[in-house]
């Protein structure tokens, strides 16, 4: 019988200050993400002690309640215990925090809904590439071409997916946004980009870029759409809004993007990609170590979301990304640290939590339950894990490894990582996991830490 999460949802709503204190609530893979009117009204200490809650994090202008694998069940129970509208967001110019917080909140809100589709498509594409590398599947066959298309379609039409989620964040019409994105993926535009002849619009020269698989152009284009749409809605008679507003919005947003947004964001994307590659080429050992060692800390505060558009943009611009192979050891090191705590502790509750968290990290690539519930709580395992990730990153960066697809990293995807990125990356992640496991088992944890953590 499925567990009822109604009581937990009720307790969480009460402890964040009641439904009247909730501006909006959404969720990711493991966290409920609240925007609260007044965070001081939330009873954070009591929430941390509530059964079913792993931890509470304040980051990115959000009050994040870490639940773990059952976050969707708790999220779905919220309307049964309150009048809070799921996914709803109340306008409040005074909220949002710093520019960095707002940026991370924006990025996570745009990319988070796409993660299941991106993970599934990326994994399928990775396995197709792996089978071709191992000589199991010939790239000349239609079987290969069809399977590759299944995996690549999400990334090829990325602007259309991003248009919908960006429209929700910028509060404009998502169907209009998708129409704009569809234009940028239209085959004729792609043909013109690949052609040698100059392109003009109304006699003005156009600098075309490749919009398929791109990230920045459509996000900025939808932002432009939101301003145009709001302006037109103010001056257009109600009886003509259904026709005039979408027509002019699509036209203006597309033209502005063709002439300005596309070329400018293309330059920005290439500068970021080239700077990252240059840094890793100049000092691969140091850069790889630092980037990988800091990655677990970025996850804690949700700041790892800032890398998602850079990664996707790198893959679209360069055809590969260099940060993914460097940070590949994180999930495995977290899982190894948690597994070591499971084997070493005699505390029944901690053993149960550590076992479930280790399985989640190693088999599903979901690390938040392990990080918040075990590794970070006892401090020393976290430090060991972060340094071990740094060793993994140094190995990957020194080897000049590249990854062409964004996929979940876990035990089940190791063959795809080896076939697509190279077995050096598998060795690197294994080194991180082994060092973490052995060090945590030897001196990284003891049950004395249980008393220290409870103080």
pLDDT, position 97: 54
How is 78-114 classified by DSSP, letter by letter?
Answer: HHHHS-PPTT-----TT-S-SHHHHHHHHHHHHHGGG
DSSP class of 3: P
DSSP class of 55: E
Which pair of tokens denotes residue 270?
């290439």
> Can you tell me the distance from the alpha carbon of 68 to that of 387, in angstroms, rounded to the nearest whole number?
25
User: Which residue stretches of the chain have pLDDT < 50?
Assistant: 1-2, 88-96
pLDDT, position 137: 87
pTM of whole model > 0.75?
no
The residue assigned the tokens 């309307």 is: 79
How many CB atoms are closer than 10 A to CB 380? 16
pLDDT, position 93: 36
pLDDT, position 436: 96
pLDDT, position 451: 66
pLDDT, position 306: 74
pLDDT, position 60: 64
297: Cβ contacts below 8 Å, ≥ 6 apart: 386
Triad 348, 352, 353: Cα angle to 5°:
120
pLDDT tens digits for 332-373? 999 999 999 999 999 888 898 899 889 888 987 888 788 888
Nearest in space to 212 (alpha carbons), one of 152, 128, 146: 152
Q: Are 71 and 389 in contact (CB under 8 A)?
A: no
* Sequence ranges of the domains in the chain: 6-97, 157-281, 284-454
pLDDT, position 91: 41
Which superfamily, per CATH, for 6-97?
Answer: Glucose permease domain IIB (3.30.1360.60)
């Amino acid at each position: 019988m499925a567990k009822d999460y109604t009581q937990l949802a009720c307790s969480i709503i009460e402890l964040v200050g009641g439904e009247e204190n909730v501006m909006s609530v959404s969720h990711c893979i493991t966290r409920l993400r609240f925007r609260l009117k007044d965070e001081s009204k939330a009873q954070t200490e009591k929430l941390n002690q509530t059964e079913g809650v792993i931890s509470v994090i304040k980051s990115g202008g959000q009050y994040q309640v870490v639940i773990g694998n059952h976050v969707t069940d708790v999220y779905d129970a919220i309307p049964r215990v309150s009048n809070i509208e799921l996914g709803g967001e109340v306008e409040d110019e005074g909220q949002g925090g710093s520019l960095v917080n707002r940026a991370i909140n924006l990025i996570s809100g745009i990319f988070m809904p796409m993660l299941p589709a991106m993970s599934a498509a990326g994994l399928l594409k990775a396995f197709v590439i792996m089978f071709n590398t191992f000589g199991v599947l010939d790239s000349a066959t239609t079987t290969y071409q069809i399977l590759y298309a299944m995996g690549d379609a999400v990334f090829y039409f990325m602007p259309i997916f991003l248009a919908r989620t960006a429209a929700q964040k910028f509060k404009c019409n998502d169907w209009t946004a998708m129409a704009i994105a569809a234009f940028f993926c239209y085959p004729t535009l792609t043909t013109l980009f690949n052609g040698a002849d100059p392109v003009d619009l109304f006699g003005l020269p156009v600098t075309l870029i490749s919009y398929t698989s791109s990230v920045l152009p459509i996000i900025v284009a939808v932002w432009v759409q939101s301003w145009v749409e709001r302006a037109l809605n103010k001056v257009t008679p109600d009886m003509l809004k259904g026709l005039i507003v979408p027509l002019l919005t699509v036209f203006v947003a597309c033209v502005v993007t063709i002439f300005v947004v596309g070329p400018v964001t293309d330059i920005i994307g290439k500068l970021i990609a080239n700077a990252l590659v240059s840094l890793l080429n100049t000092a691969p050992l140091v850069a790889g170590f630092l980037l990988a060692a800091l990655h677990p800390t970025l996850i804690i505060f949700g700041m790892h979301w800032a890398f998602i558009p850079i990664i996707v943009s790198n893959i679209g611009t360069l055809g590969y990304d260099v940060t993914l192979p460097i940070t590949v050891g994180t999930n495995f090191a977290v899982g190894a640290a948690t597994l070591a705590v499971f084997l070493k502790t005699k505390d029944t509750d901690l053993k149960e939590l550590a076992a479930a968290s280790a399985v989640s990290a190693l088999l599903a690539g979901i690390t938040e339950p392990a990080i918040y519930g075990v590794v970070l709580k006892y401090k020393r395992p976290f430090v060991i894990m972060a340094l071990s990730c740094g060793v993994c990153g140094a190995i990957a960066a020194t080897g000049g490894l590249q990854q062409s697809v964004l996929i979940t990293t876990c035990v089940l995807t190791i063959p795809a990582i080896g076939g697509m990125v190279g077995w050096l990356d598998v060795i690197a992640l294994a080194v991180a996991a082994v060092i973490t496991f052995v060090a945590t088992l030897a001196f990284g944890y003891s049950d004395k830490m249980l008393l220290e953590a409870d103080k």
